[in-house]
């Protein structure tokens, strides 16, 4: 924490750790340790959701990261149905995995969920028609409700939302139009604005835009590693003031 009363947040997503990634992320974690107070990992931590990949990541973290780490899972992390093992491995390495829970660090509150897709604004998919469509929309609604529940339990003036899927369309601009609806859901935006989040971090949109805003003007950062690499960044560094809430 800086003497001027700010918390320095380093955030990255979509690092897609493979079984052969030993040593590949030490620079990332060492630089984050030097420049930030806390590390956020916004999903797709592993390439195919294999526990062996999570063990490689855990070793990278324990050997190089010296600041607290919070994470949410991404769609790749649940690909083979081993997410419980991944959570156990990363938790043993000191990572706090969020899935609808609140977390506080140095007076700043964090709420995290994976999120889901469904589209944005008036073009969002509605729960109408076939049961499989209703189930799809129900998953999107449930993720938004989990985020709302976590934010509601925070009592800090500053609230940070950590997601994998995008809550606004602005940060997926640049992706093929055909897949935009599968990159996020504006249902996630509603609790973010209702609880006046200070900042939002997500990944998933590898070809998206680095920054956008919610309707209530909360900054949304797409921290997918390919997006950051386009501007020669290993992670996005954001300073959050501690104390009075930031005016919307």
Overall pTM > 0.85: yes
Sheet strand arrangement including 95-97: 95-97, 69-72, 38-42, 6-12, 236-241
Domains and CATH numbers, the chain: 6-241 (3.60.21.10)
Alpha helices in the chain (DSSP H): 26-35, 51-64, 83-92, 131-152, 189-194, 225-229
**Predicted confidence (pLDDT) per residue in 2-12, tens digit:** 556 999 999 99
Q: Which two tokens stand for residue 25?
A: 């992320």
**Predicted confidence (pLDDT) per residue in 174-217, tens digit:** 999 999 999 999 999 999 999 999 999 999 999 999 999 999 99
Task: Classify 86 as helix, strand or coil.
Answer: helix
Q: d(Cα 147, Cα 246) in Å, to the nearest integer?
A: 20
pLDDT value at position 246? 42
Between the alpha carbon of residue 45 and those of residues 72, 103, 106, 132, 138, the distances in Å are 9, 20, 25, 28, 25
pLDDT value at position 172? 98
Q: d(Cα 127, Cα 214) in Å, to the nearest integer?
A: 23
What average pLDDT does this structure show over 60-87?
98
pLDDT value at position 94? 98
pLDDT value at position 247? 41
Does position 230 have pLDDT exceeding 50, yes or no?
yes
């Amino acid at each position: 924490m800086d003497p001027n009363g700010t918390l320095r947040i380093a955030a990255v997503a979509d690092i897609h750790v493979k079984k052969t990634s030993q040593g590949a992320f030490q620079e990332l974690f060492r630089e984050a340790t030097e420049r930030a107070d806390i590390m956020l990992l916004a999903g797709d931590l592993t390439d195919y959701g294999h526990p062996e990949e999570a063990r490689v990541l855990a070793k990278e973290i324990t050997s190089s990261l010296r600041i607290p780490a919070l994470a949410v899972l991404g769609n790749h992390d649940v690909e083979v149905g081993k997410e419980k093992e991944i959570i156990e491995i990363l938790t043993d390495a000191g990572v706090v995995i969020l899935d609808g829970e609140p977390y506080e660090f140095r007076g700043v509150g964090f709420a995290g969920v994976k999120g889901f897709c469904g589209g944005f604004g008036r073009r969002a998919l509605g729960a109408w028609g076939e049961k499989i469509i209703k189930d799809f929309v129900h998953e999107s609604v449930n993720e938004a409700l989990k985020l709302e529940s976590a934010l509601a339990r925070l009592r800090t003036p500053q609230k940070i939302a950590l997601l994998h899927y995008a809550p606004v369309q602005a940060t997926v601009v640049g992706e093929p139009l055909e897949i935009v609806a599968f990159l996020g859901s504006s249902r996630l935006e509603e609790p973010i604005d209702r609880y006046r989040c200070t900042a939002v971090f997500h990944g998933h949109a590898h070809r998206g835009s680095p920054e956008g805003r919610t309707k209530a003007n909360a900054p949304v950062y797409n921290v997918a590693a390919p997006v950051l690499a386009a501007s020669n960044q290993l992670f996005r560094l954001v300073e959050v003031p501690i104390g009075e809430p930031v005016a919307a």
